[in-house]
Amino acid sequence: MKRREFITLLGGAAVAWPLAARAQQSERVRRIIVLMGIANDDEAQARAVALREGLQALGWTMGRNIQIDYIFADGDTDRMRVQAKEAVASGPDLILAVTNPALQAIRNAASNQPIVFLQVSDPVGGGFVESLAHPGGDITGFTNFEPEMGGKWLQTLKEIAPAVEHVAVLLHPETSAHAGFLRTAETASMALGIKVTSLGVHNVNEIEPAITQFAHMPKGGLIVAPHPLTRGKLPIDLAAHHRLPAIYPFAFHAKEGGLVAYGIDQLDQWRSAATYVDRILRGTKPANLPVQQPTKYELVINLKTARALGLDVLPTLLARADEVIE
């Protein structure tokens, strides 16, 4: 889908859709602001379409009874803080906060609007909700990864690249969930005979020197933790340049050239988020909606990248993959 078509799709005139009985409601337009910690790229567009489709199935039509405004931060946490304050001040009916730093920015802006989060790791440890079953307050949503994923990423990386002995976790130190990923990776490393190192970055400019310095380590590998800073192609390109086997959190990383990805089906989560948006706009309090954890994960292997790294991927691992890119 072209960018211009997408903008028209999100903000254009109402479309004639069959109305279910529950859609017979007031024509007051409800306004949602989506604070995206990421850039406005093809992946972001696909997620926005998935949300819109989910809402349409529940009787919400763009321009007739709902308006969605998207704000993109391109991984810039300073920009997120400014955008969050502006979003809260504008008084929307609901805010969707996408990624941990975006949710933190909205939380710091002292929002009293209902908040649904997406792609957030460890919301309890991050202090966003009281518990998954009973979030409390005005915040609920959908997690992407629990801390145990750090160990699973390490195990999968070792399986696809058995010679790896030193693995760096590229992470954002101020994101509380990343401490959990690092901890579980370190725990798993003892049985795998791997030494785990933390590569903390605070902005995009720190990624290249961090990976370049680590790449001098023999038999190295890389885990890229989920964060707006690390979702671009830079870590993929650097891993290829330094011949580092690397594992990433989302399928699109492997499709863009990353060796292997293991993570949630993001589009499925965005469609599911529409159900919480619908219930809150119809009167349910976020405190009464338990935080939802992922139920569907994807393993994607890029064989072209594996061959470039001289790796022979085991048939058993290929058989487990949801998608293999030749």
pLDDT attached to residue 176: 87
At residue 122, the 3 state secondary structure works out as coil
CATH entry 3.40.50.2300 includes domain 149-263+298-325: yes
Domain boundaries, the chain: 3-144+265-295, 149-263+298-325
CB 140 within 8 A of CB 195: no
The sign one gets for the Cα dihedral 95, 120, 206, 300 is negative
DSSP bridge pairs for 141: 117
Superfamily of domain 3-144+265-295: Response regulator (3.40.50.2300)
As given in the structure block, the two tokens for residue 238 are 């650097």
Residue with tokens 């010679």: 163
What DSSP element (H or E) covers 274?
helix 266-281
The pTM assigned to this predicted structure is 0.83
Determine the Cα–Cα distance for residues 173 and 175; give it in Å rounded to an integer.
6
- Please determine whether the domains at 3-144+265-295 and 149-263+298-325 fall in the same fold group of CATH: yes
- Mean pLDDT for each 10-residue chunk of the chain (326 residues)? 34 35 61 91 91 96 95 89 94 95 91 92 92 95 92 97 98 92 96 96 95 96 94 95 97 96 91 96 96 91 97 95 95
pLDDT attached to residue 11: 37
